Amino acid sequence: MTVIFKLPNKTAKLPEAEALPPEYSDEALALRFAKHHANDARYVAQWDLWLLWDGRRWVKDEKLEAVAYTRDVCRAAAAECGNLPIASRIAPIDVLPLPSANGIPIHGC
């Protein structure tokens, strides 16, 4: 008996703007991947494999094309980061006092 799985070929609804993660976080990159490849790539956890849409049917990703898709998304995000002024890429760091041992403050370099 052959079991046929029908997978929807529609773009999934993404979270509302106020619920989105920081722009270049892992989660944001995953959402970007999902948005760009919603119609042509599916990961099936139960089978531990990617399926790719070939225009007629879902086929196993035996050439690791999904990995290449992931790299493309990450490279595009990295290029975007590279186009930002250096000051906007570095988050300000609050200087906090270092912990003390026996009440004697430890000063950083």
**Residues 15-64: tens digit of each pLDDT:** 565 677 888 888 999 999 999 999 999 999 999 999 999 999 999 999 99
The answer to whether position 61 is within a domain reads: yes
- Residue that has been written with the tokens 């035996």 in this structure: 62
What CA–CA distance (Å, rounded) separates 52 from 44?
A: 11
The answer to whether position 97 is within a domain reads: no
The answer to whether position 1 is within a domain reads: no
Those residues with Cβ within 8 angstroms of residue 69's Cβ, 6 or more apart along the chain or in another chain: 33, 36, 37, 41
The answer to whether position 14 is within a domain reads: no
The answer to whether position 43 is within a domain reads: yes
The answer to whether position 69 is within a domain reads: yes
Supply the pLDDT for residue 81.
Answer: 80
The answer to whether position 2 is within a domain reads: no
pTM over 0.75, yes/no: no
Number of domains forming the structure of the chain? 1
The answer to whether position 15 is within a domain reads: no
* Domain region containing 28: 20-81
